[in-house]
């Protein structure tokens, strides 16, 4: 780096290590950048951290850090200038441009795993699993001794449905470092995708002892994964414990915590659980999302949660989606117009009990939901809502086909087999 006092260096180290390890210490970069405004790298990383907040207003704050870093750019080195250029492209909503710079950074500085991680983040939000895996493999040789690259490889392989390779890399990461939450997360994905429910509960039950000092996203998200196993096992008490004590309420104003809560509550209801007044609490924290179209994957879940709580903000957010689809001209234009818009109509209809409309619009959107970002497990929410709509409508033959497909990866799922028994009973009585 071109300039950094010992204190600023500590903040930069905290950011890189915290970013890769999903630890709270990553936020120390803010104080470091504020204490040394002419540190190019500290201020660039502070801008990155703000952009990763994934919320309205974050761009303005990130721009202030970018401008401060650029004012000291004359003394910056090559890597710092590339990181600044990447942040500038990101703030300008040119994600493909930001990724092109990320490719250069990886090629010239393959040990810069923070840049590789950021590259994967961009691809994740675009539903581009192939690129997630490609960038990790591009620097694999130079980082064979680093657990974080194996965690990144594991998740890339899992999203490409290469589950054996994903498990191999996850276990390699965990052999190098027991506390590697992204590798734990990737292995949970593998077990979920293979119906290894009891093993998943046991694995995450052991892993959770290492979930200390994690940021709220990683802590709540790994607990969210554990809750999915409990849903499949029919252990409702464990699901409620996970939701009430570990998924919701850690940092309830942060986007990822909010969508985790929405997603889990929706799954709980589809599985037949009465969630009581829990929607109202989540919606109260999401009322500021009434115009938030930062990322379609997030927006759809805000919309569902607000609508389930019968908040007027749901109508405002639906209008914001309509407006975004009608006016956007950027790289994500088709995603908003052809995927997010019909999906939004579908989730809003389902949340309001309008199941015919839900089935109509979700059937349009679901074949292309990969394009909105998120993981297979996260996007499965929309498949579950479509299935639930068909069940509510009494479309038994359609529902049976969907349930049989789901049995491939959840053969012993208690809610699934309960629904299948109901469908068979209805079809046999017809």
- Give the lowest-confidence range in 74-78, 131-135, 398-402, 421-425: 74-78
pLDDT for position 307: 98
In which band, very low, low, confident or very high, does the pLDDT at 2 lie, cut at 50, 70 and 90? Answer: confident
Stretch 103-125: mean pLDDT: 98
Stretch 405-412: mean pLDDT: 96
pLDDT for position 414: 98
- pTM here? 0.96
302, 289 Cβ separation under 8 angstroms: yes
Mean pLDDT, the chain, rounded, equals 97
375-386 tens-digit pLDDT: 999 999 999 999
304-356 tens-digit pLDDT: 999 999 999 999 999 999 999 999 988 899 999 999 999 999 999 999 999 99
Share of the chain above pLDDT 70, in %: 100
Stretch 282-297: mean pLDDT: 97
- Give the lowest-confidence range in 51-55, 61-65, 288-292: 51-55
227-254 tens-digit pLDDT: 999 999 999 999 999 999 999 999 999 9
190-204 tens-digit pLDDT: 999 999 999 999 999
Residue 3 has pLDDT above 80, yes or no: no
CA 167/CA 189 separation, integer angstroms: 9
């Amino acid at each position: 780096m071109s300039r950094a006092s010992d204190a600023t260096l500590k903040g930069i180290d905290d950011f890189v290590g915290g970013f890769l390890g999903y630890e709270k210490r990553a936020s120390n970069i803010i104080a470091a950048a504020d204490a040394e405004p002419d540190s190019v790298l500290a201020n660039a990383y502070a801008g990155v951290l703000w952009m990763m907040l994934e919320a309205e207003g974050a761009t303005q704050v990130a721009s202030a850090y970018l401008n401060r870093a650029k004012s000291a750019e004359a003394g910056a080195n090559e890597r710092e200038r590339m990181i600044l250029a990447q942040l500038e492209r990101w703030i300008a909503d040119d994600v493909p441009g930001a990724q092109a710079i990320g490719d250069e950074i990886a090629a010239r500085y393959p040990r810069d795993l923070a840049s590789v991680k950021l590259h994967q983040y961009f691809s994740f939000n675009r539903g581009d699993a192939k690129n997630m895996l490609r960038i990790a493999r591009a620097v694999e040789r130079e980082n064979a001794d680093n657990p974080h690259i194996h965690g990144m490889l594991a998740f890339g392989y899992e999203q490409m449905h290469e589950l054996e390779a994903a498990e191999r890399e996850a276990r390699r990461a965990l052999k190098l470092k027991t506390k590697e939450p992204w590798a734990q997360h990737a292995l949970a994905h593998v077990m979920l995708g293979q119906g290894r429910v009891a093993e998943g509960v046991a694995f995450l039950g052991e892993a959770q002892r290492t979930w200390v000092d994690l940021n709220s996203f990683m802590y709540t998200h790994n607990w969210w994964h554990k809750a999915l196993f409990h849903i499949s096992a029919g252990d409702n008490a464990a699901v409620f414990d996970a939701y009430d004590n570990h998924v919701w309420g850690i940092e309830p104003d942060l986007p990822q915590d909010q969508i985790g809560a929405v997603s889990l509550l929706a799954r709980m209801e589809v599985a037949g659980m009465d969630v009581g007044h829990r929607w109202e609490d989540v919606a109260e924290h999401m009322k500021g999302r009434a115009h938030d179209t930062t990322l379609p994957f997030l927006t759809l879940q805000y919309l569902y949660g607000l609508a389930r709580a019968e908040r007027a903000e749901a109508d405002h957010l639906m209008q914001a989606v309509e407006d975004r689809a009608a006016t956007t001209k950027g790289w994500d234009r088709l995603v908003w117009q052809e995927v997010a818009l019909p999906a939004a109509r579908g989730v809003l209809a389902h949340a309001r009990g309008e199941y015919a409309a839900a089935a109509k619009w979700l059937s349009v959107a679901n074949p292309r939901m990969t394009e909105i970002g998120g993981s297979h497990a996260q996007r499965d929410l929309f498949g579950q809502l479509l299935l639930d709509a068909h069940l509510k409508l009494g479309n038994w033959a359609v529902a049976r086909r969907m349930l049989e497909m789901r049995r491939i990866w959840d053969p012993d799922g208690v809610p699934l087999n309960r629904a299948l028994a109901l469908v068979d009973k209805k079809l046999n009585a017809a």
